[in-house]
Structure 1
């Protein structure tokens, strides 16, 4: 049996988005392709997702959503978080309103608290971890509110989307690469805030470079190789390259989006499913994640799938 080198949390994001996404995520979990899920509590199939998680004992956290669909907090029918149609501003729209200085942080806090309470209603407990849909939790100002809310509820784990090797991913389209690098910049500036509130996260984050059609066995192995290199580097910095420090596994989160493609007009968070959810990318990720070749690679490299609660 190879030495345990990596504790790998593979998180299926957007659980609850639609029934077909839910079914695909459960199939992926049962096939050993993911080990954890993040729930969108304002999504069309959130109740179904929570029930499936209970039935199949799937470790579940909260995918806090401030950018897509309708709010959970009933007091926010008119809010800086919402457009004229009563929906969140969208991935880029949220960032634009925030940058303009027009975002009310008290309303951000109210919605985050309402989503945690809704999660508790659906699952019967607090989330084991909490991150942000479309990475809104690491944005300026939001990160401070997010950290305070997590601290108040005693939720100790989050996601810091800084991916090793991202700068060398020349295969990414320029618009995606620019967005990912901005996410990384925001995430790096969140580290001090999260540390200050006692919030933790895995040693290494992966997933930006392996989304959709960019997910392949070779790309996943490439990404995981950076985690293995980071483990060696950490041990070397500790002056323990050949000692017991090297025996400690590194912790890694891989963000993924498996599922069956959404049908038009079915699912979403109040406005219907987006193009990403309706594309074949969902099924492609599902098939890659349950590929026996990848599972053999985990065993060969000493990579153990686990949940946030196992870290």
Structure 2
């Protein structure tokens, strides 16, 4: 059985520093796909740096941070025109405070803006902070993707997430990851009903930043493939690995126009770049019959 691994660099376009790191990872053979944010200071430069390189771009749909790409909204943003944040939007969605027509308008606007910048429709669309899988957003998201004939997204269901002991060093992060996992499981039938494809399995929630080590990454990838192979009788099994390589973005600029946060500024971005680009990982892929591919092969 073939093992196909899609390694995705998230938050491409966040800043020139992030773009530089993602392109280094691509040139090192460490990633083949990158998810593009459209409302950041590095969006346009990211598109230009990837043009004609072979890096597969997708849309990193963003409804949680920064400003909408075109429209002004009454419910999807605060009074100053800024998205409500990862938890703020989810709370508002859960309370029924967000107008669904505004969600539709922003998803539609981001797909159209992506096409204008890149010159083609996204090879795939996933969600910044996995917002595409919130129970309110997922049905809207899936129908719009079907309308645009975009057939691939991310389903971040990482097996045995609760058993990753290192995650419990950061209880707040651990709770967020469990929330993402819950939403993904809820949304799986919605994606299937709309013929939206995903990789057979997924990993990466438990190996972000300094939680990523060569040993953990290799163990997680093998664990995901082996579990999927037991369930699926097919010629090939695919796995998506979510990553965030880059260089630190200075706190006072970049990102969503007003600057970055600790995640964007962290040296963890370089750490991921180094682990992903290591000889150990390349040898690991060869030893375990793992072929690195893009979302176009899913």
User: Under TM normalisation by the shorter chain, which class is it?
Assistant: over 0.9
> Larger deviation: 30-39 or 271-280?
271-280
Using the TM superposition, give the Cα deviation of residue 204 of structure 1 relative to its aligned residue in structure 2, in angstroms.
0.4
Using the TM superposition, give the Cα deviation of residue 98 of structure 1 relative to its aligned residue in structure 2, in angstroms.
1.0
Per the alignment, residue 245 of structure 2 pairs with: 258
Using the TM superposition, give the Cα deviation of residue 70 of structure 1 relative to its aligned residue in structure 2, in angstroms.
0.5
Q: Classify the secondary structure of the residue corresponding to 2:92.
A: helix
* 1:146 maps onto 2:133 in alignment: no
Per the alignment, residue 297 of structure 2 pairs with: 310
Aligned partners of 2:146 and 2:194 also within 8 Å: yes
Aligned partners of 1:108 and 1:142 also within 8 Å: yes
- Structure 1 residues 153-192: aligned runs within 5 Å: 153-172=148-167, 173-192=170-189
Partners in 1 of 2:258 and 2:197 — Cα distance? 33
Partners in 2 of 1:260 and 1:299 — Cα distance? 28
- Structure 1 residues 1-311: aligned runs within 5 Å: 5-74=2-71, 76=72, 78-172=73-167, 173-235=170-232, 238=233, 245=234, 248-311=235-298
Aligned partners of 2:201 and 2:228 also within 8 Å: no
Partners in 1 of 2:147 and 2:122 — Cα distance? 13
Residue deviations 1:107-146, cap 9 Å, x none?
0110000000110011000000001000000001100110
TM score, norm. by length of structure 2 = 0.96
* Superposition CA RMSD, Å: 1.2
Partners in 2 of 1:95 and 1:88 — Cα distance? 11
Partners in 2 of 1:156 and 1:232 — Cα distance? 23
Using the TM superposition, give the Cα deviation of residue 272 of structure 1 relative to its aligned residue in structure 2, in angstroms.
1.8
Partners in 1 of 2:209 and 2:105 — Cα distance? 33
Q: Please tell me whether Structure 1 or Structure 2 has the larger radius of gyration of its CA atoms.
A: 1
TM score, norm. by length of structure 1 = 0.92
Partners in 1 of 2:114 and 2:229 — Cα distance? 38
Aligned partners of 1:165 and 1:226 also within 8 Å: no
Partners in 2 of 1:232 and 1:156 — Cα distance? 23
Aligned partners of 2:62 and 2:127 also within 8 Å: yes
Partners in 2 of 1:272 and 1:224 — Cα distance? 34
Partners in 1 of 2:221 and 2:198 — Cα distance? 17
Partners in 1 of 2:127 and 2:158 — Cα distance? 16
Aligned partners of 1:210 and 1:220 also within 8 Å: yes
